[in-house]
Chains A and B, each alone.
Chain A
Amino acid sequence: QKEVEQNSGPLSVPEGAIASLNCTYSDRGSQSFFWYRQYSGKSPELIMSIYSNGDKEDGRFTAQLNKASQYVSLLIRDSQPSDSATYLCAVLRAGGTSYGKLTFGQGTILTVHP
């Protein structure tokens, strides 16, 4: 089992729709969760962080965390073609010298078509 798994893509949605990206993680002690966006040929860019159960909203983005289910998701409302990118889920493992090391999922490619 991979430590961080994301729903397989690619995901294609029409402009204006809601894009839903999902991620599960195996380490129950994980404490912090992040979503990064990565455009083709570029480096990852942090777009959302979430630390406690529930929803966190930032503009068109909503991150959702359910620690009991070991599940984190990202919703993008009113999707735009400029949202087309790879979205990476990252989990911060807790404890020892691993604290501070992010573990990434494989990424989900999102395409928003006009």
Chain B
Amino acid sequence: NAGVMQNPRHLVRRRGQEARLRCSPMKGHSHVYWYRQLPEEGLKFMVYLQKENIIDESGMPKERFSAEFPKEGPSILRIQQVVRGDSAAYFCASSRPRGTQYFGPGTRLLVL
């Protein structure tokens, strides 16, 4: 039973480019959460999604960031026009309804 999968594991972008981070939840999990961990800091919640719905995006920056979890396929966290401050580890977690969250290995984004 595969765990939460994230790809790519490492992503390098130049300032102004777009970054797309993908997350495949565990089998049977319909809820996905995205968190960001800046260097030497703790994890901060970004967004909570169910299939085709954004439930809570209170932690998402107002501009350049968006997330989706389509009916088919992985959840996508999209960062447009990346800046150096976006360099961080981005973690995805998944759960069943009201269930324990299980995390993926993360995507480490480096913006040059």
| A and B bind | no
